[in-house]
Amino acid sequence: MLKAKLKNISIVLYKPKYAGNVGAVARAAKNMGIKNIIIVGTKDFDKEEMQQRSTHLAADILDKIKYVENLQGALGCFNYILGTTARLGKTRGPFISPRAAAQNITDLSQKNKVALLFGPEDTGLANDQLRLCHSVVNIPTSREFTSVNLSHAVLILCYEIFVASFPVTSAMEVTSKLARSDELEGMYDQIKTLLADIGFLNPENPDHWMMHLRRFFSRAGTLSREVKIVRGICRQLQWYAHHKKT
């Protein structure tokens, strides 16, 4: 599975208004392994406030911020630009989800420079800025409150890119085909008969203990081949119990 080339991904903040938000963005970027931030249109930020919000661990990200006067100049070197917006409209889309965007970026970042473009905190990106983008992402939110804090939006998008790069592990593999219900019921009947024969089950209420066994096998996610193994064990135990009696 491809891993995103994070060195080819940059966060571009268009006219951010608050030093604290820039610091929080730097922290979010560092959390997800992205080290490039470009700020467009302003550079007069209180450095101390930025540092307080970023924490000292993200100081290297703040020190490397690149300041550019205009948006086209900032975006000129990028091969793929992803815009972000909370405001929907026919002329502003088409929109994709953060997860779909992350999957695209994982692939594109292998050989292309990618910009994640975020607008001002109060207005977001206008249509003129969105026109420079190859695609636009909208973060799903409650209809009661659709505005997302700048650093939160950065973190969500960067998180999706980070997760999309995870290699497939055994915990993420597709589950093998489970046993059919009729296979399980045959197994349960055989277990019940065996446990009754050896005197383990209470003959007046045999289903009480069987329910615990059913839950156990259900939690295990029993496979068809595993049912055959259990039934084979039951047959051997039944044969042994029968010959023991005789």
Going from N- to C-terminal start, the domains of the chain cover 6-169, 181-245
Provide the residue count of the chain: 246
Beta bridge partners, 11, equal 37, 116
Judged by DSSP in three states, 36 sits in: strand
CATH (residue range 181-245):
1.10.8.590
Query: Quick check: pTM over 0.85?
Result: no
Question: What pLDDT, on a 0 to 100 scale, did the predictor assign at position 161?
Answer: 93
Q: How many CB atoms lie within 10 A of CB 11?
A: 24
Residue type, 21: N
Question: What pLDDT, on a 0 to 100 scale, did the predictor assign at position 34?
Answer: 94
CA distances from 29 to 37, 165, 200, 201, 236 (A): 8, 15, 60, 60, 61
Digit-coded pLDDT (tens) for 76-108: 888 888 998 877 765 556 678 999 999 888 888
> Position of tokens 């409150």?
145
Question: What pLDDT, on a 0 to 100 scale, did the predictor assign at position 176?
Answer: 63
In this chain, the answer to whether the domains covering 6-169 and 181-245 adopt an identical fold is no
Question: What pLDDT, on a 0 to 100 scale, did the predictor assign at position 173?
Answer: 46
Distance CA 243, CA 246 (A): 5
What's the first-to-final CA gap in the chain, in angstroms?
60
Contact 78, 114 (CB under 8 A): yes
CATH-assigned architecture of domain 6-169: 3-Layer(aba) Sandwich (3.40)
Alpha carbon of residue 238 to chain centroid: 49
Beta bridge partners, 13, equal 39, 118
Low-confidence ranges of the chain (pLDDT < 70): 1, 89-94, 166-178, 219, 221, 245-246
